[in-house]
Chains A and B, each alone.
Chain A
């Protein structure tokens, strides 16, 4: 809502996130994870959060640090178990976090539906599997489909490469991943970028997330982390 605001600090950018919020967190593994916004959210103190993300944290940085701080009650993700997801694994095994596993494409499409004003949609993914149990199904063109509902966020925390002062975003390589779709699906989208450039500098043909989806922008020095032991 309203025009994109530029912020001087990540702490200012995450101000106002309430306890109990649903927060969409960008990134695939550590690529595109908004590390600085998450660190600021930990300092800010909001708790009892529902997080929507592809994974459930790697090592002890970013989302894993938020989990470790005990701020997340429930997580929706496609692939929690990884070589270095020990923070989540421990919380899950000790019953301190709720997990909803969602197939990756349904996760993305459910957020896309939220951002696009779609009430629900039929997807063939997961038909006939345990992840479709209890869901409405329909045979369309001879194939079973499962009714999937939108996932909306109160906030989205995403990382992009550059913003212009108006709030248009461009991304870098596979760090784009969930950023554009999460930006559309949240009431308030907060983007950390490596650089804010003057309006008119970004090629309008190359803008990936138009400013209408972006509420707050903050520039930070990028952190680069890779998943250790990935294969």
Chain B
């Protein structure tokens, strides 16, 4: 089991390791573009996790080495990847049917903001100069049985990203169940807005309650 408290905030790689350890044995998992992709590096053979990539594959392997690059085989971030024994390919409508149909056990996404009630904002800053691009984020948010978020707890300006209500455009409503951050792990999605604290890193429960504008409950 990963530690439920640490003196320092977790580095990204250590957070990825914590999330990897929480993925149940035998799960079918989708890891979002960006930081969540690195969780794959910490999954063990014993976990026997099968990775789904929404561009049409189960059994995705690691990124391709330069001599393995195949233009016909990429992940959702368009990075050349490899296939593992037992892999399967399928078209896009099937790929999203297995997602929407509740067949994926876990997906881990990045986020701009998560609300205490489980609302997710991760697709658009809402700034008029930014070109909107949603990809599979909205389908993933409502499709996987468990939707987890991996993010820093505070933005570059120091403002919390775990909030009472998202100010960024929503990706999905009441869809996130757990939020993994450099400063702690949180259970969200309770309609009351109460947020469970499962672990703290580099901040005490009291520190977190001081900085966050949501009602926290200590579950460490």
**Which A residues contact B (CB, under 8 angstroms)?**
28-32, 54, 58, 78-82, 89, 92-93, 99, 101-109, 111-112, 123-131, 144, 171-181, 208, 224-227, 230-231
Q: What distance in Å separates the Cβ of A53 from its nearest Cβ neighbour in chain B?
A: 11
- Chain A residue at minimum C-beta to C-beta distance from B55: A28
Q: How many angstroms between the C-alpha atoms of A107 and B133 in the bound complex?
A: 13
Select which of B69, B74, B93, B100 is within 8 A of A28 by beta carbon.
B74
User: In residues 171-204 of chain B, which contact A (Cβ within 8 Å)?
Assistant: 171-173
Interface stretch (choices B4-12, B78-86, B206-214): B78-86
CA A170 – CA B159 in complex, angstroms? 51
Contact yes or no, B171 A129, CB < 8 A: yes
Q: With the chains together, A32 CA to B34 CA distance in Å? A: 23
Contact A103 B72 (CB under 8 A): no
Q: Tell me if B134 and A127 are in contact (CB < 8 A).
A: no
Q: How many A-B residue pairs have CB under 8 A?
A: 163
| Interface segment, one of B14-22, B39-47, B135-143 | B135-143
Evaluate contact between B139 and A106: CB separation under 8 angstroms.
Answer: yes
Residue of B nearest to A58 (CB): B78
Give A131 to B126 CA distance when docked, in angstroms.
12
What is the interface of chain B mostly: helix, strand, loop, or mixed? loop
A89 touches B172 (CB 8 A): no
Given contacts A103-B136, A124-B142, contact A208 B71 (CB under 8 A): no
Q: Does B49 contact A (CB under 8 A)?
A: no
How many residues of chain B have a CB within 8 Å of chain A? 47
Select A29's contact among B53, B78, B169, beta carbons within 8 Å.
B78
With both beta carbons as reference points, the residue of chain B lying nearest to A84 in the complex is identified as B78
Please state if B131 and A81 are interface contacts (CB–CB under 8 Å): yes
Q: Is the CB of A129 within 8 A of B96?
A: no
Q: Is the CB of A103 within 8 A of B134?
A: yes
| Cross-chain contact A174 with B170 (CB below 8 angstroms) | no
Q: Is B109 an interface residue (CB 8 A)?
A: no
- Contact between chains at A109 and B96 (CB < 8 Å): yes
CB of A78, distance to nearest CB on chain B (Å):
5
Shortest Cβ-Cβ A-B pairs, 10 listed: A105-B96, A105-B139, A128-B173, A29-B78, A224-B71, A175-B72, A108-B92, A81-B133, A230-B78, A79-B135
Q: Mark B145-182, 1 if CB is under 8 A from A, else 0.
A: 00000000000000000000000011111000000000
- Give the complex CA separation of A79 and B123 in angstroms: 10
CA A70 to CA B136, docked complex, whole Å: 28
B124 to chain A, nearest CB (A): 8
Nearest B-chain residue to A179, judged by Cβ: B91
Residue-wise interface mask of B (100-142) relative to A, using a CB-CB cutoff of 8 A (1 in contact, 0 not): 1000000000000000000000001000011111111111001
Query: Chain B residues with Cβ under 8 A from A128's Cβ?
Result: 170, 172-173
Please report the C-alpha to C-alpha distance between residue A92 and residue B129 in the assembled complex, in whole angstroms: 10
In angstroms, Cα B73 to Cα A58, docked, is: 16
Known: A81-B131, A105-B139, A124-B142. A174 touches B55 (CB 8 A): yes
Residues of chain B with a CB closer than 8 A to A78's CB: 133-136
Give the chain B neighbours of A92 by CB distance below 8 A.
131
Cα distance, A11 to B35, chains bound together (Å): 43
How many Å lie between the Cα of A137 and that of B191 in the bound state? Answer: 22
Chain A residue numbers with a CB within 8 Å of B172 are 127-129
